Amino acid sequence: MRLPLFIILCFTILLSSCSQYQQVLRKDDMGKKYALADSLYKMEKYKKSLKLMEQLVPVYRGKPQGEKLMFIYANTYYNLEDYYLAGYQFERFAQAYPQSDSIEVASFKAAKSFYQLSPRYSLDQKDTDKGLEKLQEFINQYPNSEKRTEANALVAELRGKLEKKQYEVAKQYLRVEDYKAAIDAFDNFITDNPGSSYRKDAFYGRFVAAYKLAINSIPVLVQERLRTAKGYYNNFIKYYKDTDLAPEALELYQDIESRIVPLETEPNT
């Protein structure tokens, strides 16, 4: 069966294009490599362009053509979602060309690359911390940038992830019945995150942990710990008496009240 002429023509062009690319890639003509790399980059053929750029960057670093090349080199990694290398290369660009017209964009994309590396909240958050640091550096350096709104939104997202991580750790202590550790963890969360959306739940979790610690203590410690738990209930109800958790908190509080033995009045002297 004979192939249509159009398909044969397209196949021939494709083979010719691939052959041309391989020839340029293998030869030492840096001018042709540069032109082809730029052309492929504009056509969004990033993997092919990157192979050429890897040969070009050491040659052109420090030369006039190097500024554009280093920027699109970093941006190619970004477009290929290799965010480790994108962040590294954008930072190298910013250091090498501090007066470039592209410096602000490069600085933002460097910071956003580290944001992209942030894992889900349940994993180690080292990259989240680094992303926050880099984004804050960008906001401080370019307070009037058009990217400031987006940068602030990314900061809020990463902070929310860290809050969730810290809150879930405290909840885990409560689930495994390590009540002392849970109280400490909820305490730290409340102190560290005054505006958190998990704040109500942290106040409630601390109260529950204190209540369970008290009722599961040896007799000599029960009364003191019940009174401590009662104090945590008062802290919770001070801020969240009209919330969905208030009825559950009240039930525990009433049980505390039924268990507390009134302190003996000291005799007059």
Say what the pLDDT of residue 268 is: 47
Q: Let me know: does 65 contact 34? Beta carbons within 8 Å.
A: yes
- Average pLDDT of span 80-108: 96
Closest CA to 154 of 132, 138, 129, 133: 132
Is 89:83 a contact under the CB 8 Å cutoff? no
pLDDT at 11: 42
Least confident of 59-68, 110-119, 183-192: 59-68
Q: How many residues can be counted in the chain?
A: 269
- Considering only CA atoms, give the Rg of the chain: 31
Would you say residue 151 lies in a domain?
A: no
Confidence of residue 264 (pLDDT cuts 50, 70, 90): low
Q: Which residues contact 203 (CB under 8 A, 6 or more apart)?
A: 186, 190, 232, 235, 236, 239, 240
**pLDDT tens sequence across 133-186:** 999 999 999 999 999 999 999 999 999 999 999 999 999 999 999 999 999 999
Residue 215 counted as domain residue = no
In the chain, the amino acid numbered 89 is Q
pTM for this predicted structure: 0.81
For position 7, what pLDDT does the model report?
47
130 belongs to a structural domain: no
Token pair, residue 195, equals 């505006």
DSSP state of 263: P
**Is residue 95 in some structural domain?**
yes
Is the pLDDT at 4 greater than 60? The verdict is: no
Using DSSP's 3-state secondary structure scheme, residue 179 falls into helix
Average pLDDT over residues 76-96: 96
Question: pLDDT, tens digit, for every residue of 204-238?
Answer: 999 999 999 999 999 999 999 999 999 999 999 99
Q: Report the candidate in 95, 75, 94, 100 with the shortest Cα–Cα distance to residue 85.
A: 75
198 is a domain residue? no
Encode pLDDT of 26-54 as tens digits. 777 788 889 999 999 999 999 999 999 99
Q: Does 8 score more than 60 pLDDT?
A: no
- CB distance 182 to 170 below 8 Å: yes
Quickly state the pLDDT bin for 105 (edges 50, 70, 90): very high
18 within domain boundaries: no
Asked whether the beta carbons of 135 and 154 are under 8 A apart, the reply is yes
* Structural domain of 94: 25-114
Question: Which CATH number does the domain housing residue 83 bear?
Answer: 1.25.40.10
Mean pLDDT of 245-265: 91
Closest by CA position to 91, among listed 77, 53, 33: 77
pLDDT above 90 covers a percentage of the chain that reads: 81
Q: Which tokens is 251 given?
A: 């039930």
Q: Is residue 168 part of a domain?
A: no
What's the CA gap between 166 and 7, in Å, rounded? 60
Q: Check residue 63 and give its pLDDT.
A: 82
Number of domains in the chain: 1
Residue 100 lies in a domain: yes
